[in-house]
Structure 1
Amino acid sequence: MKELIFVYHAKSGLWNGVLDSIHKWTSPDTYPCHLCAITYGTVSMKGRWKKYIQSLPFPVIFYHLDDLPKELPTVEYPCAYLRNQNDAELFIHKRELVSCQDVEDLISLVNKKLKHPIE
């Protein structure tokens, strides 16, 4: 079974989420997780992104740096992997993700890499 795995450049947990929200709001230029910055509002996932990932024909999984499975290759974060059964390969590199200005750009990038459009 195919899975799309996104990795935030952030730690998990409520307290870390609060600190991340404050950081994004007060100093967005220094916030390290571009994936969080474009897919989340102040407290929750943006509706357009949520609707899109729910429309994909396979599971989409999200990890933080502190809950990342050890079997995934170490790369620069944030990023995304595509996993087929137990084999995971880098799907979206940090530099590609950082080039996305908003959710629509990220959706276009994922669609392009999947080689088929999904609304």
Structure 2
Amino acid sequence: MDRADAFPATARLVLVYNADGGLLNAVKDAVHKAVRPATYPCSLCALTYGWAAMHSDWRRFLFRLPLEKVFLHRDEAAKALGGTQLDLPAILLDAGAGEPLVLVSAAELNAMQHRRALMALLLERLEETGVLAL
């Protein structure tokens, strides 16, 4: 089977943050990122969010992708992904059946220094899967 056939038009991009959801946790995380950024555990959040909001270039990039986007915190991920265990943070491609495909792993995100590099890598991976024809 061709890789493009493996991911239907209903495939979703799932971004899973290594942080818990909720307003109190968001405030705590913002302070942590500001005071001790080197020890902040979510590289995906550190790359793509400022103090309180998603960086505008990342937001534009994501919402131009022709996929549904799902944003999950670690406390929501196991339930939403059917108990799938994975290292966080991660960016996944979920076709709705079976385990989601890891597009960008925790190790890759943790080593990443710039959003532009993340955007390029994500486009490359989506093209490799056949979801995007660039």
How does the TM-score come out when normalised to structure 2? 0.82
Bigger Rg, which one: 2
User: Which residue in 2 is equivalent to 1:84?
Assistant: 95
Is there any run of 5+ residues in structure 2 with no aligned partner, and where?
A: 1-9
Q: CA RMSD in A?
A: 1.5
Separation in structure 1 between the aligned mates of residue 81 and residue 12 of structure 2, nearest angstrom: 16
Matched residue of 1:21: which SS? helix
User: Which residue in 2 is equivalent to 1:94?
Assistant: 106
The farther-off stretch of 82-91 and 99-108 is: 82-91
How does the TM-score come out when normalised to structure 1? 0.92
Percent of counterpart pairs with the same letter?
A: 31
Counterpart contact for 2:103–2:126, Cα < 8 Å: no
Shift of 1:99: 2.1
Separation in structure 2 between the aligned mates of residue 65 and residue 57 of structure 1, nearest angstrom: 25
The farther-off stretch of 92-101 and 53-62 is: 92-101
Between Structure 1 and Structure 2, the one with more helix by share is: 2
- Report 1:1-119 matches (<5 A): 1-68=10-77, 69-71=80-82, 73-87=84-98, 88-115=100-127
Per the alignment, do residues 25 and 117 of structure 1 end up closer, same or farther by CA in structure 2, a change over 3 Å counting?
A: farther
Separation in structure 2 between the aligned mates of residue 117 and residue 44 of structure 1, nearest angstrom: 30
Is there any run of 5+ residues in structure 1 with no aligned partner, and where?
A: none
Q: Which amino acid aligns with 2:86?
A: V
Matched residue of 1:61: which SS? strand
> How many residues end up aligned between the 2 structures?
118
Shift of 1:85: 2.4
Q: Which amino acid aligns with 1:76?
A: D
Matched residue of 1:81: which SS? strand
Deviation >3 Å, runs of 4+ = none
Once the two structures are superposed, residues 1-35 of structure 1 have per-residue CA deviations (whole angstroms, 9 ceiling, x without a partner) of: 11010100000011100000000000011000000
